Structure 1
Amino acid sequence: MVPPKKSKKNKRKASSSHPPPQLEPKATADTDWWYSFLQKNSALGHTIPPDEDEAFKCFFRVSKKTFDYICSLVREDLVSRPPSGLINIEGRLLSVEKQVAIAMRRLASGESQVSVGGVFGVGQSTVSQVTWRFIESMEERARHHLKWPEPERMEQIKSELETACRLPNCCGAIGATHIIMTLPAVESSDDWCDQESNYSMFLQGVVDHERRFLDIVTGWPGSMTMSRLLKFSGFFKLCEVGKRLNGPVKMSAERAEIREFIVGDCAYPLLPWLMTPYEGKGLSASMASFNAAHKAAVSLASRALSQLKGSWRILHKVMWRPDKHKLPSIILVCCLLHNIIIDCGDELHSDVALSDHHDPGYKEQNCQQEDSLGQTLRENISSHLLYYEMRPLY
């Protein structure tokens, strides 16, 4: 969904050879917070892009146009409740724009509430209250940005994936990552202690060709294996009863059936609707061809999770004693913001995605389960790929 068009406003841009200018605030509550925010960050010695629009994206991950769209989603909720206590140090009520900016900066930077509050001129408790109000509203108002595609949209996704990765009838890629946290001693049970001795919560996501999340599962302890997490998810149950990945069957080059499926790495079981790579040495030509195409597709999930945690650093940093009942909502809203960036056509800075893996320090898991129907489908796809590789070009 594209944000509604706004009237253009004149913008003053800084020269690249000079520090950001002391921009004169406009006499409206929805813009003066931005200029004050810029000045405080400049005074703290933070590097600020000379172009104002780029500076905005650097701090909030979205363009001003997309920011306005996000404000339009939550405005009704943020103004309908009595804004008790939401007053800055100048004695003025916080505008919706400033509330959204505070919440998005907290999510984007992962900095402490004290640090975020300092550059906005508000206290720690205000940052906490504003951020949670924003999360509650987004969880309800932005849900339409994360949903399983309708048949027509799914056909487009499958076409794009086949063009990019050569896999026919592929609907996306699945992956998972750990959200690491510290817990009070009374909550530090083995249930939340994962394989690397961190306390963590899982996020599982299915993504499309544009790395947009189509389905997510979170709230489960990081001590689970990824294959067990999958089987506890609603997505698994829907696929098993034929309510997901149940679209039209395609025929291979050798007239074998290829049903809809997603791809996952070796941490997942091979199922009739989930393709994993062949393992071992001495693979045949068709197996090697399948693995190459599979690798290209499954990397979409890893890259999406890297972009998610790079954009919304609150998910990448160790979270200090989060409320485990609220953390799933924070994770969901970060995924919604990730999708909104894609849906609105925003381009992220090249250095936003993490330079290393989204789960550094975690060993690769391996699931040995292979379903016979899954084996048959994988063989059909492998033969199909090899057929077109071996076909003469004349």
Structure 2
Amino acid sequence: MPAGGGVAKHPTTKRKPKKLHHHQNLTHLLTLSSSAASSAHSFLLRHDLLLLPRQSLSLHSHHSSLSHLLSRLQPHSLSKLLPPPQPPPCWFHRFLSSATANYDTRWTHSFRMSKPSFILLLRLLTPSLLPLSPTTPIYALAATLFRLAHAAPFQSLSPLFGLDPPTACRSFYTVCKAIIDKLGHLFEFRSDLNRIVVGFGWISLPNCCGVLGYDAFKVDGDLLGENGSLLVQALVDSEGRFLDVSAGWPSTVKPDSILRQSELFSGVEELRELLNGPCFQLSDGNAIPQYVLGGSCLPLLPWLLTPFGGSNESRTTVSSSEAAYNSVHGRGMELAGKAFGRVRAEWQLLLRPWKEECIESFPFVVVTCCLLHNFLIKCSEALPDVNLGHSSNHDLPLFEGEEDDSAHGIRNALALHLSRFTVGGSGSLAEQLLSTGFSQRSGFSFAYFIRSLNMVCLSLLNERSMLPMPFKFENVVGIIPLRQSWDNFGDLVSTIFPITSGMRPVNLLQDKSITEKMSKIFPRAGSSDVTGQGGMQPERLLCQRLIKLSQDK
């Protein structure tokens, strides 16, 4: 028995040092981890104004997770090693004291807009944000924009803006509501249709009033089934502005069903208050009503023109006029995809899968982001470059229902018109310009020439600077026809513009105030100028100087 007892105690005596050694190693490892967390936290406090927002958020997230884990493992022995809570002032308070310049790039990195645009937005929203007291409007707005821009969780906003998670959440939805209430007029489909039509005229779509597109946003959980998402229907203009948005539709609903339940459809088909403007008369006598472009997932209607080759068309090939139409139509549809892509790039909260329990707030957040996108364009803020790889339009089902017979005639007439006025088209002014060396010198399309030419006028007037495609001044100087001359720059615009836009614009240079302004920018020519003739009209001088530049290249 004693021997047996000795055998039983012997291994126990040998294991005690191993347990103690293991405990000491674990304590040492936890101490090192806690020290590293403390050092990282100190680094973040000292350098957060120099870090990019995503870097600060990443450090804060990892530090919080590690500190929470360590406190659960050894709450007593490591309590002295854990870093103390961040003392005031918060990051945004120090940011305001540091980023005082109007165009400090940290404003754009943090809030997606320059300081002047931020202050303008704050001024517009402040009356609606006063009920958030004691949270000041500037802190509420900054925290909301930061969360939208960087998908920052409410917990991360606490050390940055001094707002606890419940207060940050309340501020976020209050600001979103204020943006929708105060900036709703930036959906300009009802208020600025003439500008919209002119814009699409620049890209060879006469009487077009918008492009209708769809995008899908992922949702976590099983509420909408596997790979469920929420669909957004949006109408955009030629500059990528959102004109109308309908958000929050389950991905199980087909696009044509979404369309028929939207206010856009009701305004056109039932109330007859939208797209009821004058028709555009084509050169062959056909009339084109106001319309919007839509994808093959939608029905062909007199006011909704889809591409040739849809599911209802048995033909597998298209004619030359149909191909010309599809080409222009496809470029138009890209505007919607790029607008969605830019909203996602600007406001990265939309890139995250939406939580199932928050699904009711999704439409408000999407509409908020679309309005902020329009606000950035209004303020001439730089927009991110995007590709169309993310677009979900290619995954949408083709429309298989009945189509309007009269819509086929409208689409055919527009297709014939577009093919007739393609560069090099028979009997067109484009062909006449081609004979003057226009296209051979430039390598650019006729429509691009018109947009570039118009941009010169608008730049001189300090008006709109946004076009569907980036404008480069050097693209103009090589495409002025060298064997033609115009007595008046306005005559050139009035002569060419109707061919591609489908409407005759006001002659900008008939306004005396405009010509006076041009005279200041382009002084009257002296004897040493291009032609050697003094007293030249400023608009003609502009043409001559462009020609001279092209000859010198």
The TM-score, its normalising length taken from structure 2, stands at 0.56
253-262 or 369-378, which deviates more:
369-378
Report the alpha carbon displacement of residue 356 of structure 1 after superposing the two structures with TM: 3.1
Specify which of 195, 201, 208 is matched with residue 162 of structure 1: 201
Specify which of 313, 322, 329 is matched with residue 294 of structure 1: 329
Pairing of 1:121-200 with structure 2 (within 5 A): 121-150=162-191, 153-164=192-203, 166-183=204-221, 188-189=222-223, 192-193=224-225, 197-200=226-229
* Higher RCO structure (Cα 8 Å, ≥6 apart): 1
- Does the CA contact (< 8 Å) of 2:150 and 2:349 recur in 1? yes
Q: Which residue of 1 aligns with 2:319?
A: 284
Give the residue type in structure 2 aligned to 1:57.
T
Q: Which residue of 1 aligns with 2:233?
A: 204
- Does the CA contact (< 8 Å) of 2:90 and 2:161 recur in 1? no
Quick one: percent identity of the two aligned structures? 26
Q: Which SS does the other structure have where 1:338 is aligned? A: helix
Q: Which residue of 2 aligns with 1:373?
A: 406
- Does the CA contact (< 8 Å) of 2:199 and 2:239 recur in 1? no
Q: Residues 286, 156 of structure 1: CA spacing in aligned structure 2 closer, same or farther, 3 A cutoff?
A: same
Deviations 1:26-66 (A, max 9, x none): xxxxx9854635999xxxxxxx9x99622211221111111
Report the alpha carbon displacement of residue 364 of structure 1 after superposing the two structures with TM: 3.8
Q: Which residue of 2 aligns with 1:119?
A: 160
Give the Cα–Cα distance (whole angstroms) in 2 for the partners of residues 374 and 266 of structure 1. Answer: 14
Give the Cα–Cα distance (whole angstroms) in 2 for the partners of residues 289 and 375 of structure 1. Answer: 16
- Does the CA contact (< 8 Å) of 1:178 and 1:201 recur in 2? yes
Give the Cα–Cα distance (whole angstroms) in 2 for the partners of residues 267 and 211 of structure 1. Answer: 21
- Does the CA contact (< 8 Å) of 2:102 and 2:115 recur in 1? no
Give the Cα–Cα distance (whole angstroms) in 2 for the partners of residues 21 and 111 of structure 1. Answer: 18
Give the Cα–Cα distance (whole angstroms) in 2 for the partners of residues 130 and 316 of structure 1. Answer: 21
Q: Which SS does the other structure have where 1:167 is aligned? A: coil
Report the alpha carbon displacement of residue 131 of structure 1 after superposing the two structures with TM: 0.4
Give the Cα–Cα distance (whole angstroms) in 1 for the partners of residues 155 and 389 of structure 2. Answer: 28
Give the Cα–Cα distance (whole angstroms) in 1 for the partners of residues 387 and 110 of structure 2. Answer: 16
Q: Residues 355, 382 of structure 1: CA spacing in aligned structure 2 closer, same or farther, 3 A cutoff?
A: closer
Report the alpha carbon displacement of residue 349 of structure 1 after superposing the two structures with TM: 4.2
Specify which of 247, 260, 277 is matched with residue 290 of structure 2: 260
- Does the CA contact (< 8 Å) of 2:92 and 2:160 recur in 1? no
- Does the CA contact (< 8 Å) of 2:218 and 2:230 recur in 1? yes
Give the Cα–Cα distance (whole angstroms) in 2 for the partners of residues 269 and 179 of structure 1. Answer: 23
Q: Residues 32, 53 of structure 1: CA spacing in aligned structure 2 closer, same or farther, 3 A cutoff?
A: farther
Give the residue type in structure 2 aligned to 1:368.
E
- Does the CA contact (< 8 Å) of 1:37 and 1:120 recur in 2? no
Give the Cα–Cα distance (whole angstroms) in 2 for the partners of residues 253 and 333 of structure 1. Answer: 43
Q: Which SS does the other structure have where 1:384 is aligned? A: helix
RMSD: 2.9
Q: Does 1:356 align with 2:389?
A: yes
Larger radius of gyration: 2
Q: Which SS does the other structure have where 2:104 is aligned? A: helix
Give the Cα–Cα distance (whole angstroms) in 2 for the partners of residues 349 and 82 of structure 1. Answer: 32
Name stretches of at least 5 consecutive residues in structure 1 with no aligned partner.
Answer: 1-17, 23-30, 41-47, 84-92
- Does the CA contact (< 8 Å) of 2:132 and 2:171 recur in 1? no
Give the Cα–Cα distance (whole angstroms) in 2 for the partners of residues 255 and 324 of structure 1. Answer: 51
- Does the CA contact (< 8 Å) of 2:337 and 2:388 recur in 1? no
Deviations 1:262-290 (A, max 9, x none): 11111111111111111153211100000
- Does the CA contact (< 8 Å) of 1:61 and 1:348 recur in 2? no
295-304 or 241-250, which deviates more:
241-250
Deviations 1:188-216 (A, max 9, x none): 44xx33xxx32322211000011111111
Q: Residues 19, 318 of structure 1: CA spacing in aligned structure 2 closer, same or farther, 3 A cutoff?
A: closer
Specify which of 367, 374, 378 is matched with residue 339 of structure 1: 374
Q: Which residue of 1 aligns with 2:120?
A: 69
Q: Which SS does the other structure have where 2:374 is aligned? A: helix
Q: Does 1:110 align with 2:147?
A: no
Give the Cα–Cα distance (whole angstroms) in 1 for the partners of residues 348 and 132 of structure 2. Answer: 30
Q: Residues 273, 21 of structure 1: CA spacing in aligned structure 2 closer, same or farther, 3 A cutoff?
A: closer
Q: Residues 270, 21 of structure 1: CA spacing in aligned structure 2 closer, same or farther, 3 A cutoff?
A: closer
Report the alpha carbon displacement of residue 20 of structure 1 after superposing the two structures with TM: 6.6
- Does the CA contact (< 8 Å) of 1:307 and 1:354 recur in 2? no
Q: Which residue of 2 aligns with 1:391?
A: 426
Q: Residues 19, 227 of structure 1: CA spacing in aligned structure 2 closer, same or farther, 3 A cutoff?
A: same
Give the Cα–Cα distance (whole angstroms) in 1 for the partners of residues 388 and 161 of structure 2. Answer: 29
Q: Residues 254, 52 of structure 1: CA spacing in aligned structure 2 closer, same or farther, 3 A cutoff?
A: closer
Give the residue type in structure 2 aligned to 1:386.
S
Give the Cα–Cα distance (whole angstroms) in 1 for the partners of residues 397 and 205 of structure 2. Answer: 24
Give the number of the structure whose residues are more often helix, by fraction: 2
- Does the CA contact (< 8 Å) of 2:186 and 2:374 recur in 1? yes
Report the alpha carbon displacement of residue 120 of structure 1 after superposing the two structures with TM: 2.6
Give the Cα–Cα distance (whole angstroms) in 2 for the partners of residues 112 and 331 of structure 1. Answer: 17
Specify which of 30, 36, 39 is matched with residue 94 of structure 2: 36
Aligned length: 336
Q: Which residue of 2 aligns with 1:90?
A: none
Give the residue type in structure 2 aligned to 1:260.
Q
Q: Which SS does the other structure have where 1:219 is aligned? A: strand
Give the Cα–Cα distance (whole angstroms) in 2 for the partners of residues 133 and 143 of structure 1. Answer: 15
The TM-score, its normalising length taken from structure 1, stands at 0.78
- Does the CA contact (< 8 Å) of 1:179 and 1:202 recur in 2? yes
